[in-house]
Structure 1
């Protein structure tokens, strides 16, 4: 997504539930795969979060591929950006393009990763929830792994991913109930879109949202993957 200046700024985070280590990056303009850089931060950096030029310098030091800023731009994005500049209500204005994943491996380790290009027309330098631990994602082998999508500002302020963790850890809620409650947490004060995917140490998983559309997929063991777009498809499959 373009910011108000017509630039692309991406962000990402990743967390290892077995070590509670994580890596996060934001304000990226040339890093081809932000989540790969987040992993490098987790594994090879003494810090947990790098941003903007410092994050790009670290990417170069690690040999990660960079691209010209035009690599990330499309004609459709440019048209939407122009509509915003002209004061028109672009059809996809305020849309976001977050992608997240949670996983449980055969050794019982949990992990999460969340990555995004943000929202259309954001101010330059805006940071969303995808790179915020406890907001856009969280992982702990003893409790759960969570990744979120939706309106970043409210997800950060509500600490949505950490709410799932806290409801599981302190109230002993099953993962599906914890995610349902987190989707509605503080909804009276922090209204907006929220989507959650989460898995617990026993392999129980859930997909929750307060919207009609939730593009998602899951796979267990060697079974065929389940893929859905509409929330009612997910509810029918999981409930």
Structure 2
């Protein structure tokens, strides 16, 4: 493998219960991201540019919870988080709680490349992105009907707290309704229990990179930050171990230092990438009460995507150009 992406972990799409428009929309979204990142790699671009390109496509796709289509906070706003890390020198950049950046992943890369800092938050991060020429948007750019409906569902009496409705960082269970396409929703499962996006890549120089982006949890507290912009929790890349992007219950993934622990298990215990990722996702984080998954890639092109949640949308690109996407539960059953 040379590139992989994920579109969030959560309730899986079920074959036979998901309408064709929804399946097609998710597959096309993942494939478009893989093509964008793959084009960068084929032109001789680096892994950082490849993961940024892939994640930007997913941020622009309202099917996912990142950029356009981000979920709502408790006050009906949007606060977005993203991070990027380069495996060759452990350089990293991140933004948290941005409200007006069209593509937070690009802002995160700018933090890495143009500041001496790692993480910028809130208004300062928005202003930095604008000063550096990134496209800005008003809050209504992120709005979609399905995310608004999810917020209203989460605010109903008896609903669980922030993130209980579908759509946040792969945390939520479905709230009912058959998965539907961009134009609507019908009875059965709810595809909105997907969302956070990420990418990992290895380039011709065998340098690794990882990136993650999210809108967070539906009905989350204003100012809440999950694992996606936290280097070592939601994102990590080190050339001699792996590039990792996570999706799951953010607070648990922070407490468990999810992404960097995959790297540490490879470095200090000599585990391969698949064994290390499984150990973190299925054993350690699950024991802390956190469901989710990771995509993990080493510089030899060995890839794995373990998840303890019912499903995880993801796909990958091979060196010879083959694109594979997995959206149904039977294509990617949960690891036990």
Q: Same fold (TM over 0.5)?
A: yes
Q: Does 1:65 align with 2:163?
A: no
Q: 1-side partners of 2:78 and 2:234: how far apart?
A: 19
Q: 1:135 maps to what in 2?
A: 233
What secondary structure sits across from 2:314 in the alignment?
Answer: strand
Task: Map 1:16-55; keep pairs closer than 5 Å.
Answer: 16-55=86-125
- Relative to structure 1, the CA distance from residue 81 to residue 165 in structure 2 (aligned partners, 3 Å threshold; closer, same or farther) is same
Structure 2 unpaired stretches of 5+: 1-70, 173-192
Q: Does 1:118 align with 2:192?
A: no
Q: Does 1:164 align with 2:262?
A: yes
Q: What's the CA shift string for 1:79-128, capped at 9, x where partnerless?
A: 22123233254752744621010001111100000000001110000000
Q: Is the 8 A contact 2:258 2:281 kept in 1?
A: yes
Shift of 1:202: 1.3
**More relative contact order, 1 or 2 (CA 8 Å, 6+ apart):** 2
Q: What's the CA shift string for 1:135-184, capped at 9, x where partnerless?
A: 00100111111110011010110111011001100111111111110113
Q: CA RMSD in A?
A: 1.8
- Relative to structure 1, the CA distance from residue 231 to residue 85 in structure 2 (aligned partners, 3 Å threshold; closer, same or farther) is closer
* Higher percent of residues as strand: 1
- In the TM superposition, structure 1's runs of 4+ consecutive aligned residues that sit over 3 Å from their partners are 88-91, 93-96, 185-189
Structure 1 unpaired stretches of 5+: none
- Relative to structure 1, the CA distance from residue 27 to residue 187 in structure 2 (aligned partners, 3 Å threshold; closer, same or farther) is closer
- Relative to structure 1, the CA distance from residue 88 to residue 96 in structure 2 (aligned partners, 3 Å threshold; closer, same or farther) is farther
Q: 2:309 maps to what in 1?
A: 211
Q: 2:19 maps to what in 1?
A: none
Q: 1:105 maps to what in 2?
A: 203
Q: Comparing 35-44 with 70-79, which one deviates more in the overlay?
A: 70-79
- Relative to structure 1, the CA distance from residue 117 to residue 129 in structure 2 (aligned partners, 3 Å threshold; closer, same or farther) is same
What secondary structure sits across from 2:313 in the alignment?
Answer: strand
Q: 1-side partners of 2:318 and 2:231: how far apart?
A: 26
Q: 1-side partners of 2:211 and 2:229: how far apart?
A: 9
Q: 1-side partners of 2:147 and 2:236: how far apart?
A: 30
Q: 2:57 maps to what in 1?
A: none
Q: Is the 8 A contact 1:101 1:114 kept in 2?
A: yes
- Relative to structure 1, the CA distance from residue 222 to residue 115 in structure 2 (aligned partners, 3 Å threshold; closer, same or farther) is same
Q: What's the CA shift string for 1:37-61, capped at 9, x where partnerless?
A: 0001111112111000000110111
Q: 1:92 maps to what in 2?
A: 166
Shift of 1:187: 4.2
